[in-house]
Structure 1
């Protein structure tokens, strides 16, 4: 949230340097989005950026679907909105009993003044909150705690974290830390705790499913880091014991699923090795893809897979510039040049297999780049879409010109699809972000004499940029604070520029 008249409710990652009130941390992005979805539905707080909020002239779709009260166009007063903010804060603090009591009192007041529509709305809110409370609350307990369980099998470990905040369960999150040869789950859990909570604010209570050495020392370190007392307990009863049992059960399931996935992944890698007649299974596979909208905001992606699956920390995106819009070959050439030139300059590791999302033309671009840079020993594979884009029927173009069609039942094609689809997803998300950023930029910001205040005044006066484009010089000059000379400059700029 931001400390303005109508605070917004939004997702936040990173430091807490910006003004506002923060809630969390949450165990993952999923629970955060679930909480936001619920809060917007219950309390109808705005989620839009301040710049969007300041330039609205009519309610957006969020108002139509009853997820926002449209403070941008004054459809709710300051006091009523402040009351909604207060209720949301009570909910996030876990003070549901207080919140329900306040809503019930407000409902009776609305009923007494014969505002039956408001009374019915508050009644529905109370019913919804009571339902949530009965499902999520820790019986007889409140506060914040994390319950962690560790399972170790076949050299692979899973740590499951179950988070409770304000007495409400926020769900679980699984971690698969490296074991470094450890044979004891307690050793893995101790290492995980010291690393995880030095980067995440710890709750006041941490439950663990086994006894650890030097736990008092760790608790003291966490206390100094968090600025409050942190209790680490392993011998608990009642609801806390049930939390640990849930965490351990989920850890067992997650580890079993992970081991099964690893076996399947290994089978796919071996099948690909045999299909391409490679000397050994590729330890590092990279795949490149290009995404744009009619040449706008072109972005190339590079995703990395090893024998265990995606290595997301090594993913890269490349913003493409200086090419003819829509020229995918030039975009691929630029992205590959930047990737492998960096490898030469920095001594970065090279892939054991390079996948290119495209047919012979794109593959030739890759071959040309590696030849120009003198990079040798990197097998390449083009993945050409099948007719009708039927999944599993792709044609594989080898770097020696041979073509393979393994078919939809091939484990090798399943791996290639997984890598290619991930590159496609990563490229699209990067392109959409870049495109949105470019479209948010207004040409008005580049006009000398137009600051944020005049820009806002113009957009409000004409109802948006399209209305401003349709206005004549005299109409623009009639806006307060806009001289005729500045109006002429605005008019000329808008009619020379095709986009905002």
Structure 2
């Protein structure tokens, strides 16, 4: 009753809401354009997802904070989640300390990599998710400009009194000697300004300055110096060409994309300046409730932009997101802008694939759980299909009809559980009746022996075979206890009982791959059994073809010699001992005649 009153009195304003349990522990923080509507939806919706149901049951009280705009709500939500780390909120954890390029706040500023950001007036560019990238950029700058590497205090007084002497860097041409007043502060600052532009991704000004300098040296006939400058221009142009991936007119933009499965989402971030990706980062997010991609992307954008200190006024995303009025959101439809979003999605997918490969090795349980959750969702099942059985018929040319049942547990074949069936009650090639027989025999036996039943049955075939299998499940009273689907070969469509419209899974989905593997394994296992049976039958028929040899004699021969081949290779004396002179003569003569015919 108290909770109902709290909900009714919530404001219709943008802001942040907080759910607390009976012990006053913070459970969840959320943001909303309209606090009252958003909170009420938790208590009026029928939540299919288990964890959301549990959360709603635990809510004992609600608190809220009203803010002026959606942007403020986003930032406040992000800060509260980081501060209190509520149990049911997604946490964007990142324990890495990324490197920054620092231009030190001092006379004749030094340039270096650091992981510690100190608020002393120095300029920090980054952070860089790749140390290799940051070092490559730093090496490029040191090739282009002669900066000091010492940490001397180069105050006017210290330089004037001659406190320092030039070091080896000066003598080998890596420094212009500001410590002895051989380079003015103005000249040094020109280089720092150019470096600042390069670090920001603006190569245009630096190339223009070098080109002017090169032409000046050339006009003054100083061709050696002009050549050195040309090498620097080539170096800069080469670096720019390698880092440019889109139209250089795309300036100061952030790009975000998301790829999700049942349990995790992966958000990729690009920072683009003058057509160059100067930062790239992908975050893995473990889902806590039934969060949508839109919700997770909004949360990630706010967090990542804060972490990487982004001031971009525009972002590119694959679908529309609500980020308030201060950021321009663009959903590209074609051209270079669309290509950069697709590149971001591709990076998120590659990151996910790499993670899944690692998990498969170091945490196989998590790998299996993820696949089972995905299959449950894709196939709309009430339970995870930990135990799956697949049936296939084999009656090539209408002879020796057999069927196979293969068993997968936790997505992997359990070969000791495979079973073959010789069709007993069906005359001639009748796939539907054969399927009905083997499904009945399989589950009648499991029920009689008190064995575990599967969570899912896969029938290799379309509607007809599925209907036949269902008849047997109805007779056994298992229709509503085991999920059953049929997979047709033509378009890999999946059929459900009483549903004329098939399901088409993504051709690249893991769920379809496992179902195909089941189907192929059942087919292979069934065909092998069928061939063995035909081969054995053909050999047995060969003995029966011998004139004057009855069935009882055939049985005696096979019992003793174990195979028709061994009978054909037996000596006359061995045959005579077993079946007498007259019949031995016929058998021996038959095989001798065939041997040379």
TM-score by length of 2: 0.38
TM-score by length of 1: 0.45
More relative contact order, 1 or 2 (CA 8 Å, 6+ apart): 1
Q: Choose 1 or 2 for highest CA Rg.
A: 2
